């Protein structure tokens, strides 16, 4: 049965007018016409951020550079107090570390500037909790920096938290809270500190796994404050200087070569080899001239070498001259041309056949 027969059979009798059903495309056209008008009546919606991927290596390197910067400042500050009483600065080491961390925070994060490590890696902090991204979204790196509350909490966690924990550990170790003979309160506090440290390490390890998977929030403080590291400039590449790396590789290979060869060298043979090239012979003035330069003993049958006139044992000098026709005196470095008995006649050096 075709469509016309179906329409005629389904039409009501009595001469009533039948309207055809609306087409499906009419609903789509109506939605497209009314949707812009409906959107104009609603408040402006938030712009969605473009998903970005920040290099994990850059973030980890920035943290290591900040630690190295703090260590360099600490080393320079310790040199200032090098002439004071030894050990005096050691008891104030937590205060010194907290002071240096506060200086780095004060002149970087507090004034909306990156830390030294973040600046070298082209990174800055961005507030992930911001509900609105101002300006035109082009790269996904735009966004406001940290708020005042986030900066203060960052200082409290990094500077104050680390200082208080370091002081608690040193005080508990000095008071020996962990000993079994201590009272229950002190030992309970020590056990609580150990448990808190274990929980913190477990949480840090979990955060590390999340950071390696997502590339966001390298430590617990950044995750709690929702402070994310993003690139400061989208057009700046990471600059790597290979000159220092080449020097380091050459020095490492040279050091390994020396460690391999030095045990194989005989110090006496090296000294005798370098003795002819040494021009400073004044150091031998304190050596006893009556002793044999080879065996360092009193010559039983004294012979002297010609032309330097240094005294030897007969057997020591004869053996050396027979073994090598170009034998040099160990005391002055002159070649021995002949030998004679002390106060006797000259005898020539036997030549090898």
Evaluate the CA torsion angle 295, 296, 301, 303 in order and state its sign.
positive
Evaluate the CA torsion angle 194, 200, 206, 208 in order and state its sign.
negative
Region 224-246: mean pLDDT is 75
Region 26-49: mean pLDDT is 64
Measured between alpha carbons, how far is 34 from 119 in angstroms, rounded to an integer? 50
User: Which of 236, 226, 234 has the alpha carbon at shortest distance from 125?
Assistant: 226
Distance between first and last Cα of the chain: 130
Prediction pTM value: 0.54
Given a cut of 70, whether residue 42 has pLDDT beyond it is no
Say if CB 117 and CB 64 are below 8 A apart: yes
Q: Is 349 helix (H, G, I), strand (E, B) or coil?
A: coil
Band of pLDDT at residue 1, cut at 50, 70 and 90: very low
Q: How far is CA 147 from CA 109, 127, 154, 244, in A?
A: 10, 7, 11, 39
Quote the pLDDT of residue 207: 94
Least confident of 4-18, 152-166, 195-209, 298-312: 4-18
Band of pLDDT at residue 298, cut at 50, 70 and 90: confident
Each residue's pLDDT tens digit, 155-179? 999 999 999 998 888 888 887 777 7
In whole angstroms, what separates CA 345 from the centre of its chain? 73
Given a cut of 60, whether residue 345 has pLDDT beyond it is no
Quote the pLDDT of residue 41: 64
Quote the pLDDT of residue 174: 80
Pairing of strands 311-313, 302-306: antiparallel
Question: 264 or 298: whose pLDDT is higher?
Answer: 298
Given a cut of 90, whether residue 208 has pLDDT beyond it is yes
Given a cut of 60, whether residue 67 has pLDDT beyond it is yes
Which residues, at least 6 apart from 59, have a Cβ–Cβ distance to it below 8 Å?
121, 123, 211, 215, 218, 229
User: Which of 207, 216, 224 has the alpha carbon at shortest distance from 51?
Assistant: 216
Given a cut of 70, whether residue 199 has pLDDT beyond it is yes
Strands (E), 206-264: 227-231
Each residue's pLDDT tens digit, 93-140? 888 899 999 999 999 999 999 999 998 888 999 988 875 555 445 566
User: Which of 302, 351, 348 has the alpha carbon at shortest distance from 326?
Assistant: 351
Band of pLDDT at residue 2, cut at 50, 70 and 90: very low
Quote the pLDDT of residue 268: 56
Quote the pLDDT of residue 203: 94
Quote the pLDDT of residue 331: 78
């Amino acid at each position: 049965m075709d469509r016309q027969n179906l329409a005629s059979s389904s039409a009501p009798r009595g001469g009533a007018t039948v309207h055809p059903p609306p087409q499906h495309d009419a609903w789509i056209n109506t939605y497209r016409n009314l949707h812009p008008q409906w959107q104009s009546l609603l408040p402006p919606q938030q712009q969605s951020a473009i998903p970005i991927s920040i290099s994990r290596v850059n973030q980890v390197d920035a943290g290591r550079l900040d630690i190295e910067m703090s260590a360099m400042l600490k080393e320079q500050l310790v040199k200032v107090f090098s002439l004071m009483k030894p050990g005096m600065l050691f008891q104030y080491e937590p205060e010194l570390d907290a002071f240096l961390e506060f200086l780095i925070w004060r002149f970087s994060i507090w004034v909306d500037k990156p830390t030294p490590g973040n600046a070298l890696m082209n990174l800055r902090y961005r507030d992930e909790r911001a509900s609105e991204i101002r300006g035109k979204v082009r790269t996904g790196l735009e966004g406001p920096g940290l708020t005042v509350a986030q900066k203060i909490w960052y200082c409290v966690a990094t500077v104050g938290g680390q200082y208080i924990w370091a002081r608690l550990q040193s005080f508990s170790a000095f008071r020996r809270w962990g000993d079994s003979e201590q009272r229950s309160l002190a030992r309970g506090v020590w056990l609580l500190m150990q448990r808190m440290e274990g929980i913190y390490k477990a949480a840090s390890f979990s955060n590390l796994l999340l950071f390696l998977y997502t590339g966001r929030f390298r430590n617990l403080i950044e995750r709690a404050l929702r402070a994310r590291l993003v690139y400061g400039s989208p057009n700046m590449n990471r600059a790597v200087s290979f000159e220092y790396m080449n020097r380091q590789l050459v020095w490492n290979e040279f050091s390994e070569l020396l460690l391999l060869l030095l045990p194989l060298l005989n110090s006496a043979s090296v000294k005798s080899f370098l003795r002819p090239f040494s021009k400073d012979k004044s150091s031998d003035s304190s050596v006893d001239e009556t002793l044999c330069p080879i065996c360092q003993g009193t010559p039983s049958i004294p012979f002297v070498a010609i032309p330097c006139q240094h005294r030897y044992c007969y057997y020591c000098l004869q053996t050396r001259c027979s073994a090598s026709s170009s034998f040099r005196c160990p005391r002055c470095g002159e070649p021995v041309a002949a030998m004679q008995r002390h106060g006797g006649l000259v005898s020539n050096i036997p030549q090898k056949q």
